């Protein structure tokens, strides 16, 4: 199973389990996670959702071959039918608290999804990145809104425009990460925090989350829709095609002919 899903003591745990491909996420994996989150939302026994990876890697982001195959234009198909959109809609809309435990690289969607979690804990080996602009694309799933709110415009611009990896310490300073721990301590600590949440009054926790997100939820939904249309339009354009071709050919992309 490339997504390990388990329920115990009021906690749904979702674990990326594709280490041979650096936990790169396929459409099927997105659909599995979306279904698990939607199920957890309606399961009265589940009070918290925990998302984690492996000690050496959280996720390398999209499995590019699978992503490009499933992102090709299809007559009559809406972008929001794709697995990634279903997963992010479920995650961003979750009423129950979501805890993330991040070790190793969290690339692309691996960092984007953290902006929609409630408690984000990172190992000291974590490396985050949002490499969309260098790939000829744009920010996704409201990251162009949420990251500037968290980190301030100039720091968010640096991460979103240059797309360079940044450390867990920078994530902490930006407000994206709540705490940094040694790798061996990360998952036990995140599980303990999830257990604390599961033991608290569930309606109180859900209402507190709802109130904190109340004013920005409409803006997040609107921004997601705008970014989604632009993202998939840019995916079919020349700059992205050059970036992905260069990636598969293991060469540096050449954007000099674009204006």
Tell me the CA distances in angstroms from 258 to 25, 57, 242, 249, one per residue in order: 30, 35, 10, 20
| Tokens read off for 121 | 């804990």
What are the residue boundaries of the structural domains of the chain, listed by start?
A: 3-183
Architecture of domain 3-183: Alpha-Beta Complex (3.90)
Q: List per-residue pLDDT tens for the chain, 259 residues long.
A: 899 999 999 999 999 999 999 999 999 999 999 999 999 999 999 999 999 999 999 999 999 999 888 887 665 556 677 899 999 999 999 999 999 999 999 999 999 999 999 999 999 999 999 999 999 999 999 999 999 999 999 999 999 999 999 999 999 999 999 999 999 999 999 999 999 999 999 999 999 999 999 999 999 999 999 999 999 999 999 999 999 999 999 999 999 999 9
Q: Nearest CA to 12 among 91, 83, 106, 80?
A: 91
Residue 23 has a pLDDT of 98
SS3 (DSSP) at 130: coil
Parallel/antiparallel/unpaired status of strands 11-16 and 48-52: parallel
Residue-level pLDDT at 81: 78
Q: Provide the whole-model pTM.
A: 0.95
pLDDT at residue number 78: 64
Helix-strand-coil percent breakdown of the chain, rounded to 5?
A: 55, 15, 30
pLDDT at 69: 87
């Amino acid at each position: 199973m490339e997504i390990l899903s388990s329920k115990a003591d009021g906690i749904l745990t979702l674990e990326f389990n594709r280490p041979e491909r650096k936990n790169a996420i396929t459409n099927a994996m997105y659909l599995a996670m979306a279904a698990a989150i939607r199920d957890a939302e309606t399961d009265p026994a589940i009070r918290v959702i925990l998302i984690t990876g492996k000690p050496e890697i959280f996720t390398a982001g999209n499995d590019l071959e699978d992503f490009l195959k499933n992102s090709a234009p299809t007559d009559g198909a809406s972008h929001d039918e794709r697995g990634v959109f279903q997963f992010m809609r479920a995650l961003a809309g979750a009423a129950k608290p979501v805890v993330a435990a991040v070790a190793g690289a969290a690339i692309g969607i691996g960092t984007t999804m953290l902006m929609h979690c409630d408690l984000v804990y990172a190992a000291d080996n974590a490396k985050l990145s949002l490499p969309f602009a260098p790939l000829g694309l744009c920010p996704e799933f409201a990251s162009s809104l949420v990251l500037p709110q968290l980190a301030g415009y100039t720091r968010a611009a640096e991460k979103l425009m240059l797309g360079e990896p940044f450390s867990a310490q920078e994530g902490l300073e930006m407000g994206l990460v709540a705490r940094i721990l040694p790798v061996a301590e990360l998952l036990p600590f995140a599980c303990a925090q999830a257990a604390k949440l599961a033991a608290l009054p569930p309606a109180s926790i859900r209402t507190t989350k709802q109130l904190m997100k109340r004013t920005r939820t409409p803006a997040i939904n609107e921004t997601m829709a705008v970014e989604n249309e632009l993202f998939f339009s840019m995916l079919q354009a020349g700059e992205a095609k050059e970036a992905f071709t260069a990636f598969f050919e293991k060469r540096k992309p050449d954007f000099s002919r674009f204006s």
